[in-house]
Structure 1
């Protein structure tokens, strides 16, 4: 039984497993998240993004963006001259993110369907990196790799939340 538990525990950090999980969940993610959080998920995202002070014109990388649920709160701070680079590896979640972007006409949002550990985001190119809930899907070793990637894309002295 212990061998089974260890293999299940390790599987939850497997990139392919997590990607398939979010692709499958993308169909109902928004609704289930709202119900299971008793409607607080939107409030939590707003509080989360408001923890960082963004400025007009800032570039924000929203890694593990999911459906782009944090965008409206970032856009309130960075304005029309700012930019969001939204990154996720789940095609299902990205499909919903693109639909959300279509509703936000005129906003500068670049959506990337890429692996967070091997993204095309340029070195030292963003003022802030945000990650709403995705960190919970990583092992300690993956978190170390993620911190290196975040450090690579952040401008010196800027912030990760």
Structure 2
């Protein structure tokens, strides 16, 4: 047995539980996620930005939901240099602090932080030219995904665009057993014996396998009238959903 499972006595989708996990992970999150994904998380962030159907040279403002350490911002600002403002929403104070102190202080004039549960945040209707989210979807259950779909549909301006990506369960891939072994066994062992943590990083594997893939959220967004595209990355080890809100006629 690797150790006690921190989810045993808790609702792992409760916002307070999620906040605690990522506050404790924040100082080592960047290195851990890069090493333990063999660099794929960085590649997938770039692909998420590439899937965002936004015009490159039109001034735009929008939201990075479940923003974490803000690792998507360099890709976003490189592809869309006319972006005027990014409002980063995340429940974890530790992740916000890490984003500002380690990565993005020189971009601070374009980025505003909101420390809040995304689903409880008061984002104004029709206020976003774009919405992006990388690797935060897994921390929501199905009911919370319904609320997130509502939020995206309401918050986007007519003609606005969105792109979301999440690590996923690559069902049907012949190497899936090795992938799940990596998530469920190797990562907890690495944390226990190398990082000597409280097994918070092991929760990332639990969240990812519980999430499955982005097909459910894709259907929810489509039901709300958005134009939607579903994408599988690297045999389904990550899945994404992107699209637009219809422009006013």
TM-score of the aligned structures, taking structure 1 as reference length? 0.87
Change (3 A) 1:153 1:9: farther
CA displacement at 1:113 relative to structure 2:
1.0
Cα distance in 1 between the residues matched to 2:44 and 2:123: 27
Alignment match, 2:100: 98
Alignment match, 1:135: 137
Gaps of 5+ in 2: 164-249
**Does structure 1 residue 30 correspond to structure 2 residue 33?**
no
Deviates more, 1:121-130 or 1:20-29: 121-130
1:124 equivalent among 123, 126, 129: 126
- 1:53-77, CA deviations, whole angstroms, 9 ceiling, x for partnerless residues? 3233111211000000100111123
- 1:31-73, CA deviations, whole angstroms, 9 ceiling, x for partnerless residues? 1101101122211111111111323311121100000010011
**Does structure 1 residue 42 correspond to structure 2 residue 42?**
yes
Cα distance in 2 between the residues matched to 1:68 and 1:60: 14
Gaps of 5+ in 1: none
Cα distance in 2 between the residues matched to 1:10 and 1:140: 17
Cα distance in 2 between the residues matched to 1:18 and 1:95: 16
Task: Work out the number of aligned pairs and report it.
Answer: 155
SS in 1 for 2:64: strand
Runs of 4+ in 1 over 3 A off after TM superposition: 7-10
1:75, 1:82 within 8 Å by CA — same for their partners in 2?
A: no
- 1:84-131, CA deviations, whole angstroms, 9 ceiling, x for partnerless residues? 1111010000101222231336x5111111110122432211111111
Cα distance in 1 between the residues matched to 2:116 and 2:83: 25
Cα distance in 2 between the residues matched to 1:146 and 1:136: 12
2:67, 2:133 within 8 Å by CA — same for their partners in 1?
A: yes
2:60, 2:82 within 8 Å by CA — same for their partners in 1?
A: no
TM-score of the aligned structures, taking structure 2 as reference length? 0.58
